[in-house]
Amino acid sequence: MRGKPAPKRRLNPDATYHNVLVAKLINYIMRDGKRSAAEKAVYGAMKLVAEKMKKDPLEVFDGALRNVTPLLEVRSRRVGGANYQIPYPVRGERRYILAFRWLIAAARARQGVPMSQKLAAELMDAYNKEGAAIKKRDDAHRMAEANKAFAHFAR
């Protein structure tokens, strides 16, 4: 690696909920610099969650994120001419990156309704420990569990 790593930037909390993770979700959903469209989708989803579940939308959002964050992942490593899938614990920042990525991909995969409704449905499913994002997390954990025998190659 040349030079030094780029410094981590502090992200300002979002305007409505004053939460850094909501601001990060808006940034991940945003495409082509269209922040207002991304904010409309996220805030619309939060509003729908509040109406349908009769709970604080931030509580549902945090619970969904907690349920989707992975603890283990597999990484490919070449050892003696063979590639092994080696389980590693997921470091803190990457947990959120993967969780956001899986939530948004699962929401975008749903068809036929606006993004705010798709995101709300996926957040509620993740809060209730079901849905595509939870399945993705379970698949990652299952792969790590299946390849536990190769954990000694980690270092």
Query: Whole-angstrom Cα distance, residue 45 to residue 37?
Result: 12
Give the start-to-end residue ranges of the domains of the chain: 20-153
Measured at the alpha carbon of residue 140, what is the angle toward residues 85 and 49, in degrees to the nearest 5?
160
pTM: 0.91
Query: Whole-angstrom Cα distance, residue 63 to residue 125?
Result: 11
Q: Which residues contact 5 (CB under 8 A, 6 or more apart)?
A: none
Note the pLDDT tens digit of each residue in 35-83.
999 999 999 999 999 999 999 999 999 999 999 999 999 999 998 899 9
Give me the pLDDT at residue 151, please.
Answer: 86
Give me the pLDDT at residue 154, please.
Answer: 78
Phi, psi of 16 (to 5 degrees): -85, -50
Note the pLDDT tens digit of each residue in 86-126.
999 999 889 999 999 999 999 999 999 999 999 999 999 99
Query: Whole-angstrom Cα distance, residue 11 to residue 95?
Result: 17
The CATH superfamily of 20-153 is: Ribosomal protein S7/S5 (1.10.455.10)
Give me the pLDDT at residue 1, please.
Answer: 73
Task: Kindly write down the DSSP assignment for every residue of 103-143, as one continuous string.
Answer: HHHHHHHS-SS-HHHHHHHHHHHHHTT-SHHHHHHHHHHHH
Residue 82, sorted as left (phi over 0), alpha (psi -120 to 50) or beta, turns out to be beta
Q: What is the mean pLDDT of the chain?
A: 93
Size of the chain, expressed as the number of residues it contains: 155
